[in-house]
A and B are shown apart, each in its own frame.
Chain A
Amino acid sequence: MSTHTEEPTAVAYGAPALEDALLHFEVQRFYSLEAQLLDQHRYADWLELFADDLHYWAPVRTNRLRRQQSLADGAPGEVAIFDETKASLAWRIRRFDSGMAWAEDPPSRTRHLITNVVVRPDDESGQYVAESAFLCYRNRLEREVDIYAGGRTDVLRRDADKGLLVARRTILLDQNVLLAKNISTFL
């Protein structure tokens, strides 16, 4: 299940402590570096930021009556924009590296902006739940423009060798009908 509906976290933090600030800085920096890799189309390097047991998921968003809001975001096992493992992401990335992925040849220009980061440590598992907002601007060929905007909820894990890794990512794109001909980048 997606974790985006959990309790708001800001209040729970209380007065800011130095360790919160350091954690926030570390995660924000991690996301900035991740965004750079995506915008530089360094997808193989980008994939290194994910844990081997990754679940990378972007459910479909539907319009539901207010009393049926619990059904508004696609459930696991339904049609999804992404429903990926690390292996299947690698599969998608190999396509870009084939030299024949015409939807990205010439390549698009993208700019991933990651903001509104809220990190909550999970003391039991030693992992972090990090929520963020993203805005990805894509400009393609002469004047094609697409904007993908939404929220992400990550489970971040600290690996002794590799530092922070994304173990789980849920992407809620803030669109019903996807207002683009495709998504040829990652979010």
Chain B
Amino acid sequence: MTLSRTPEPSADVSGYFDLERGLVDRTIFSDGALYRQELRRIFAPSWLFLAHESQFKKPGDFFTTFMGEDPVIVTMGRDRRLRAFLNACRHRGMRVCRADAGATKAFTCSYHGWSYDTSGKLINVPNGEDYPGHFEQDKWGLIEVAQLDTYKGLVFATWSPEAPPLREALGDMTWYMDAMLDRDPEGTEVVGGVHKWVLEGNWKLAAEQFASDWYHVNISHASALMVLSPTGKGPKKDIVQTPGRQYTDPLGHGAGFPTHPKSRFDDRVVHEYYDYDALRERLGDARVEGPTTTGHATIFPNFSYLPVNGSIRVWHPKGPDKMEVWAWALVDKSMPDEVKNAQRLYNLRTFGPTGIFEQDDGENWSECQATAGGFVAGGMTLNYQMGLGLEAQDGVHPGTTGRLYSDGAARGFYTRWRDLMNTPAWHEQPKAAESRTAEEDPR
């Protein structure tokens, strides 16, 4: 018996873009069929962020999250190896773990009691004697991701056996990521707990903004900038007109950052902690004067971060018009406790659902989504022309960069999105579909 499923036909999405001229059709933020195509062709084949390594200290520690809309368990096995599995019992599909995190020896489905160990193996089937002789228990373990790897503490996985290795998939972006992940020879860790909240907005609104949008900061976050400014009267002109660069990665990643020789962290305690000369030694002048302290970044498709407060986050897709944000607070391992605490407090007071910056982001995205339902407004062409034609190799930062105020990385993000959406994923290849049988992986 073959279990091949006939996928919904996929659309050619080329017509939604004229990226050379900086034009994007808004349909991509609201169309249900395109959203399901994203789950097949963006989320299934891409490397997706799962967790931070520091969340797993001993065998049996687990954390549950999502890859696209698929629930997954990330857990450390008895061999101390991290693995990730679909959080779905092979018998009837119920989640075998309904806790957010914890420690366990086994994941036991509370429906019929099928039980799996931390390496995903099916170890117990109640009433096993009632299964006929051809029941092959060793073939019904939890479905494991095709590849799992870490980059400087960040755990990523993909369902695609054909995806390039993680390091390759991150490309030149690692130079920018290291500005946050590699300040400390000991590396990073996350403080306990994860902020989780829902937004009425397509996930790309947030992912794109973190790749490409310094532009909104001065307007959207005017109130927060005013509170943070030493005079309490709003940002100085040189902040509003700050120079900087925006990096556009051919793999869809993006990062933007002001550049300044005296670039510093906003929080006083964190600022005073860092030895900027040592940072220059470690990361080089270009990084310390650029992406190390402030700025924004997205790793395609849905992982973003902010160096200034250690906020790392995933935009989980929850339908074409909804996302769930999961945000962690990242700190350097070597920081003394009071500095870690200062970074954590700065993080949660500026970002997260009550953050003085992020409150306004939530309003922007839900408002963009709200007008996408109209027939005319939902199909109108959006302007992504900022900085068009101004991108180049700048000789200081790797890859292609443009001005800080630019839509460059958004154009890069959608170029990658368009190309992936137009490319059948590994699971759509006819050969794979024909050979799928009940005994083999039925994904």
Taking CB atoms, residues of chain B closer than 8 Å to A44 are none
Beta-carbon contacts of B194-231 to A below 8 Å, as 1s and 0s? 11111110000000000000000000101110110000
Say yes or no: B348 contacts A182, CB within 8 Å. no
**Given A63-B99, A81-B352, A182-B353, is A103 in contact with B362 using a C-beta cutoff of 8 Å?**
yes
Q: Which of chain A's residues has its CB closest to B196's CB?
A: A177
A79 to chain B, nearest CB (A): 3
Beta-carbon contacts of A148-165 to B below 8 Å, as 1s and 0s? 000000000000000000
Taking CB atoms, residues of chain A closer than 8 Å to B365 are 181
Say yes or no: A79 contacts B328, CB within 8 Å. yes
Taking CB atoms, residues of chain A closer than 8 Å to B352 are 79, 81
Q: Which of chain A's residues has its CB closest to B324's CB?
A: A177
A80 to chain B, nearest CB (A): 6
Say yes or no: A79 contacts B192, CB within 8 Å. yes
A18 at the interface (CB under 8 A from B): no
A154 to chain B, nearest CB (A): 19
A159 to chain B, nearest CB (A): 27
Say yes or no: A78 contacts B200, CB within 8 Å. no
Interface residues of A in 90-139 (CB under 8 A from B): 91-92, 94-96, 98-104
B90 to chain A, nearest CB (A): 21
A60 at the interface (CB under 8 A from B): yes
Q: Which of chain B's residues has its CB closest to A142's CB?
A: B370
C-alpha gap A60/B192 in the complex (Å) = 10
**Given A95-B227, A182-B359, is A62 in contact with B348 using a C-beta cutoff of 8 Å?**
no
Say yes or no: A63 contacts B223, CB within 8 Å. no
B354 to chain A, nearest CB (A): 5
Say yes or no: A88 contacts B349, CB within 8 Å. yes
Q: How many B residues touch A, CB cutoff 8 Å?
A: 46
A82 at the interface (CB under 8 A from B): yes
B358 at the interface (CB under 8 A from A): yes
Taking CB atoms, residues of chain A closer than 8 Å to B194 are 60, 79
Taking CB atoms, residues of chain B closer than 8 Å to A62 are 99-101, 193
Say yes or no: A180 contacts B100, CB within 8 Å. no
Say yes or no: A176 contacts B199, CB within 8 Å. no
Taking CB atoms, residues of chain B closer than 8 Å to A63 are 98-100
B345 at the interface (CB under 8 A from A): yes
Taking CB atoms, residues of chain B closer than 8 Å to A68 are 99, 102-103
B164 at the interface (CB under 8 A from A): no
A77 at the interface (CB under 8 A from B): yes
Find A98's partner among B102, B200, B227, B329 (CB 8 Å cutoff): B227
Say yes or no: A77 contacts B356, CB within 8 Å. no
A-B contact count (CB 8 A): 135
A71 at the interface (CB under 8 A from B): yes
Q: How many A residues touch B, CB cutoff 8 Å?
A: 41
Q: Which of chain A's residues has its CB closest to B228's CB?
A: A91
Taking CB atoms, residues of chain B closer than 8 Å to A29 are none
C-alpha gap A65/B197 in the complex (Å) = 21
**Given A60-B195, A182-B353, is A79 in contact with B362 using a C-beta cutoff of 8 Å?**
no
B232 at the interface (CB under 8 A from A): yes
A64 at the interface (CB under 8 A from B): yes
Interface residues of B in 88-137 (CB under 8 A from A): 98-104
A27 at the interface (CB under 8 A from B): no
Say yes or no: A178 contacts B197, CB within 8 Å. yes
C-alpha gap A80/B365 in the complex (Å) = 23
Taking CB atoms, residues of chain B closer than 8 Å to A98 are 222-223, 226-227
Beta-carbon contacts of A135-147 to B below 8 Å, as 1s and 0s? 0000000001000
Say yes or no: B193 contacts A60, CB within 8 Å. yes
C-alpha gap A59/B352 in the complex (Å) = 13
Say yes or no: A95 contacts B195, CB within 8 Å. no
Say yes or no: B197 contacts A83, CB within 8 Å. no
Say yes or no: A79 contacts B195, CB within 8 Å. yes
* Candidate in A65, A68, A96, A182 with the most chain B CB atoms within 10 angstroms: A182
Find B354's partner among A81, A94, A104 (CB 8 Å cutoff): A81
Taking CB atoms, residues of chain A closer than 8 Å to B199 are 181
Find B356's partner among A81, A82, A92, A177 (CB 8 Å cutoff): A92
C-alpha gap A65/B97 in the complex (Å) = 9
* Candidate in B101, B200, B356 with the most chain A CB atoms within 10 angstroms: B356
C-alpha gap A82/B200 in the complex (Å) = 22
B195 to chain A, nearest CB (A): 6
Q: Which of chain A's residues has its CB closest to B192's CB?
A: A78
Using a CB–CB distance below 8 Å, which chain B residues touch chain A? Answer: 98-104, 191-200, 220, 222-224, 226-227, 232, 324, 327-329, 341, 344-345, 347-349, 352-354, 356, 358-360, 362-366
A-B contacts besides A102-B364, A184-B359, 20 pairs, CB < 8 Å: A60-B194, A62-B193, A64-B101, A65-B102, A77-B344, A78-B192, A79-B194, A79-B348, A80-B348, A92-B227, A92-B356, A95-B224, A101-B359, A102-B360, A177-B197, A180-B197, A180-B198, A180-B353, A181-B198, A181-B365
